Copies of this chain bind each other. A is one copy, B any other.
């Protein structure tokens, strides 16, 4: 790709279509998002050698995941995505085929979620980087927030905990060979599935709070509970994905502890009142992990748990 015009043309080829919530699309100083409903917005980075490596991420994987991690934030609000903007940092070493695969994969995920690309920016850069801002709308029930639970509430997750970390560690250790040994884990890292439909169902089911688990449950749970509350968790090894158990045993750590520290799960963490849990419990994948306690702090299977989770700067 030699010029900005060629890039914009390729983007137009892949990202077509209109959306009721986009009154003015790409090509002006700004896009215009239609008023009338509150919009939720989130921004996430997806950077070469920080969030992905070319060694085991294909162009299609990168295009997919850069958008998927953003969609996951919308899902965690119990909302539906409608549009996104993309700032793209473009190194000179990627060929036309790469970009075609990248945009094709990203645009397929966009279409599946009925959202359009509303704008963005292009720049040359040393390494590939994607910064996406995404916009969503809630149903009649509003948005599901963090720090909106009370003593006695049931805590639950939907989606595998620790599986993406298993995939990442296996890929880092053995490269693409990991695809055969731990296929579910590798897929969880390369192609996390945003749970938009699940989030919408949970919202309609009267769930009180919901959160995207992206830095590991151990680190994200206190953020979900807020400073005043704690949690008492019961997590049996057998509830974990078998890839997590296998890998944790290989490196000789406790599978539950490993799972709690796993970053990039893009699982959902939620709280529901024990008196109104019926509907939520029937949502596919609902896994009860414990209850909210009066005092701050985390107990797992009867023991105090203090190890911090993933830190973006130090891990």
Please report A residues at the B interface, Cβ cutoff 8 Å: 1-4, 7, 23-24, 27-45, 47, 49-51, 73-74, 76-77, 79, 85-87, 89-90, 118-127, 129, 131, 133, 135-136, 143, 145-146, 210-212, 311-314
Partner of A131, one of B45, B74, B311: B45
Chain B: minimal CB distance from A108 (Å): 22
A41 x B4 contact (CB < 8 A): no
Q: Of B28, B37, B126, B212, which one neighbours A146 at CB under 8 angstroms?
A: B28
Shortest Cβ-Cβ A-B pairs, 7 listed: A131-B131, A30-B40, A133-B133, A29-B76, A43-B85, A30-B42, A87-B131
Chain B proximity of A242: nearest CB distance (Å): 29
Docked pose: A23 CA to B2 CA in angstroms: 43
Q: Are A131 and B32 in contact (CB under 8 A)?
A: no
- A148–B37 Cα gap in the complex (Å)? 28
Q: Cβ of A24: which chain B residues have Cβ within 8 Å of it?
A: 40, 143, 145
Take A3-B311, A23-B38, A146-B27 as given contacts and tell me if A47 and B123 are in contact as well, using a CB distance cutoff of 8 Å: yes
Q: Closest Cβ of chain B: how far from A267's Cβ, in Å? A: 13
* Contact A89 B121, beta carbon cutoff 8 Å: no
Can you pick out 18 interface pairs between chain A and chain B where the beta carbons lie within 8 Å of each other? A4-B311, A7-B313, A28-B145, A29-B42, A32-B40, A33-B39, A33-B41, A35-B35, A43-B86, A43-B87, A43-B120, A43-B121, A44-B121, A45-B123, A47-B125, A51-B123, A87-B87, A129-B129
Q: Are A126 and B127 in contact (CB under 8 A)?
A: yes
Copies of this subunit? 2
* A34 in contact with B44 given A2-B313, A29-B73 (CB within 8 Å): no
In the complex, how many angstroms separate the beta carbon of A79 from the nearest chain B beta carbon?
A: 7
Task: Name which residue of chain B comes closest to A72, CB basis.
Answer: B29
Shortest Cβ distance from A83 into chain B, in angstroms? 9
CA distance A44 to B120 in the complex (A): 7
Q: Give the complex CA separation of A269 and B64 in angstroms.
A: 37
Contact A312 to B36, CB < 8 A, known contacts A41-B31, A41-B118: no
A134 closest partner in B (C-beta): B30
Are B79 and A30 touching (Cβ within 8 A)? yes
A126 and B126 form a contact (CB under 8 A): yes
CA gap between A288 and B34 in the complex, in Å: 34
Which residues on the B side are within 8 Å of A212 (C-beta)? 29
Q: Which B residues touch A51, using CB under 8 A?
A: 123
Q: Which B residue's beta carbon lies closest to that of A215?
A: B4
- Tell me how far the C-beta of A291 lies from the nearest C-beta in chain B, rounded to whole angstroms: 22
Could you tell me if A87 and B44 are in contact, using CB atoms closer than 8 angstroms?
yes
